[in-house]
Amino acid sequence: MSWLVFAAALGAVVIFGGSAIATKVAVSAISPLDVSIMRTVIGGFIAIPLAFALRIKLPASIQQRSLLLLSGGCGFIGFPLLFTFGVSQTTANHATMILAMLPVLTGAIAMAWDRKKPRITWWLGCTIAFAGEALLLYEPDAGNASASIAGDLLVWLSTLFASLGYVAGARLQRTGYSARGTTFWGVGLFAIMLLPVAPLVIDSTSLQSAGSYAWSGLLYQAIGVTIVAYILWYWALGTGGIARVGLFQFLQPVSGVILAWLILAENLSLIFMLASSIIMVGVVLAFRAK
């Protein structure tokens, strides 16, 4: 693995790790609904010109188009909406550790789709990880006023949409369609679909008065996560190999928790640290079994 692949993968993981923090910053002055819509619309305005510039065409077959719609709908509509509302009701640390379950949930959906039975080790890893998640849901009772079970559950539901979108996108790539096309046209098409709805539901006055701090979080999501991180990540996967580069995913919760501590000054309670350790042990065990 060259240093360039290493840098690209590490950069993507760090950007992904800041997703919950950026959302927390954005919803400090912008409503969760406006944030979830605007991040897709802004990302689409950037993705569509890139798709044309790189001469990436839309999928040709009905099967490919169906997978593109499923991937884009889950990744750029369902996930942002639920995730943004969830983060607005919980801490960035909680959201980051719930997102740590993405590799496990993605593998579970992929195996169910392909009707494959996982190994016993995979079930053991999932059980351990879910035990950590249950402890994480208990943590708001320990006096963490900014976290809530409702917010954690919304983030949990958003990870299911994200995982389903990843699986649909992977199956689309398996048919021969490029990963860049899946990203660019996925966000682009759903940005076009949201345009007629956006003026009716978005509070333009609130957006104008939000301030640079909240807008920085929104632009981070729209440009940094949706465009830059995905380009770096897919390039690193294709160049360095999925098996090796995919292991960088385990650094995402670490970077997210560190950034939440540095930027948002969120406390790291003993229950949170214990739950995080249990989750990571379970995720690593399940991932190795896969």
- Averaged over 167-189, what is the pLDDT? 85
DSSP 222: I
Average pLDDT, rounded, for the chain = 83
pLDDT value for 206: 81
Cα–Cα distance, 57 to 76 (Å, whole number): 19
pTM of the model: 0.81
108 touches 288 (CB < 8 A)? no
Q: What residues contact residue 225 under an 8 Å CB cut-off, 6+ apart?
A: 15, 16, 18, 19, 22, 39
pLDDT(194) > 60: yes
Of 35-49, 196-210, 212-226, 253-267, which gets the smallest average pLDDT? 253-267
pLDDT in tens, 7-44: 888 888 888 888 888 998 999 899 999 999 999 999 99
pLDDT(82) > 90: yes
Q: Indicate the pLDDT class of residue 118, thresholds 50, 70 and 90.
A: confident
- Averaged over 51-60, what is the pLDDT? 92
Cα–Cα distance, 40 to 21 (Å, whole number): 18
pLDDT value for 163: 85
pLDDT(198) > 80: yes
pLDDT value for 84: 93
Domain boundaries, the chain: 3-289
pLDDT value for 56: 92
pLDDT value for 53: 93
76 touches 40 (CB < 8 A)? yes
pLDDT value for 290: 54
